[in-house]
Amino acid sequence: MSQSRVAGHEPAADDSATPAGGTAAGGTAGGEGAAVATEGAAGSEGAAAGAEGASVAGTGTAAEAESATAATAAAGDGRDLRDGAPAAADRSRAVAPPGAHPAPGARPAPGPAGRRDARSTAAAGSGWRIRLRRDRTLILMTLPAVLLVLVFNYVPLLGNVVAFQDYDPYLGDNAWQAVAQSPWVGIEHFGRMVEDRLFWQALRNTLAIFLVQLTLFFPVPILLALLINSFVRPRVRAVAQAVLYLPHFFSWVLVVTVFQQMFGGAGMLAQTLREHGHEGIDLMTNPGLFKFLVTFEMVWKDAGWGVIVFLAALSAVSPDLYEAAAMDGAGRWRRMWHVTLPALRPVVALLLVLQVGNALTVGFEQILLQRTAVGSTAAEVLDTYVWNVGIQFGDFSYAAAVGIVKGIFGLCLVLAANKVAHLMGEQGVYKR
């Protein structure tokens, strides 16, 4: 026992003087471990200690502190094993010998896979709490918009129940009592809709205006975005974006007034023609040009918003693609066709799906302001028809039935357009 203490401590003092002491101490520790390996049932632990000492001996150029610590640990393990107790450092990592069986009633220690499963389960249980605390600022910022949509878009859907009633608002003291006391008529209003000539006329006008807007309005933001993106100077590009986007903030009352002053009977265009000996024209009261007029107004007002969206998509295109195409000999048009336009495909598909979904919503306020000037035959659309039937004539049940058909038809258009986008390899509004 005294020799083991000397072997465990005296070489450590020598190790602090020279690096060679680390080699001697490691050799002594290896010898002690080999001796311990021959003693009784703890031989495997002693062999492990001897291996550690031998590894220290093989690295004699290691630091003196590591050599002394290894020698001391090896000597201490040898003393503990001689006394019949496992080393303190090895108790936590002792491995049962092959063929050994656990004691009766003992719970086996969890393996690495079990510990990983436990940690993953705990993480999954607390993951949403962590995300909630992390994103609480964003959630608070989004909450007002969510409440706004719920209150003004989803709660009013409950009122569509009057489409299946002969609703009379004067049957009760409030709207809920009137709904409760109004008689049920089933799908009578939907059958009336099929036979209504004015409904079909409004539907035809709505679809015609939508097709004109889809053909003329949708490509304009793409062309303007490509033009602005070709500007070299960032300041010129920023000014162009601001000028194009500014009309988006104008109300339709102001937009219609501006067009009336320019293209009306007493507008700038008519006066200029009269001054040059021609007959003045009034584009604002021409029923044949009404669909193109409202499309031109929409292009002037809302094209800037689409330009901003497409410019954001173009900013994500790597300049390396343009440089590689230029090195391959591609000109400006080929670079635009093979690099720029493919980068815009996802955005074009998304906006096209949304545009198709709004096929039956072509601008209530814009058309209502000009409906009287050209007449209802040319300017009556579904939105103004519902307003005229429900608000002007008080036929709330029939107006609600028309609104339900309009909503279902719009939903079917969104689903169909989104399916087409998926077939083209694009994501659309939602993933497949």
Indicate the length of the chain as a whole number: 432
User: By C-alpha distance, which of 410, 385, 412, 411 is closest to 398?
Assistant: 385
CATH number of the domain encompassing residue 230 = 1.10.3720.10
Q: Which residue in the block uniquely carries the two structure tokens 């990983």?
A: 116
User: By C-alpha distance, which of 338, 321, 348, 372 is closest to 420?
Assistant: 348
Residue 395 in any domain: the answer is yes
273 and 335 in a single domain? The answer is: yes
Residue 71: which domain range?
Answer: 2-91
431: helix, coil or strand?
coil
Q: How is residue 183 annotated by DSSP?
A: P
pLDDT in tens, the chain (432 residues): 334 333 444 434 344 333 333 333 333 433 443 333 334 333 334 333 333 433 433 333 334 444 444 444 444 444 443 444 444 444 444 444 544 455 555 555 555 555 555 565 555 557 888 888 888 899 999 999 999 999 998 998 888 999 999 998 888 888 888 888 999 999 999 999 999 999 999 999 999 999 998 888 888 999 998 888 877 688 888 888 889 999 999 999 999 999 999 998 888 998 999 988 888 888 899 898 999 999 999 999 989 998 998 988 888 888 888 888 888 888 888 888 888 888 888 888 888 888 888 888 888 899 999 988 888 888 999 999 999 999 989 899 999 999 999 999 989 988 888 888 888 777 777 776
290 and 374 in a single domain? The answer is: yes
284 and 355 in a single domain? The answer is: yes
Burial (CB count within 10 angstroms: exposed 0-12, middle 13-18, buried 19+), residue 101: exposed
Domain count, the chain: 3
216: helix, coil or strand?
helix
Residue 171 in any domain: the answer is no
Residue 182 in any domain: the answer is no
Q: In angstroms, what CA-CA distances link 257 with 254, 262, 265, 283, 419? A: 5, 9, 13, 13, 40
Q: Which helix (H) or strand (E) holds 322?
A: helix 319-327
Residue 175 in any domain: the answer is no
Residue 245 CB neighbour total at 10 angstroms: 16
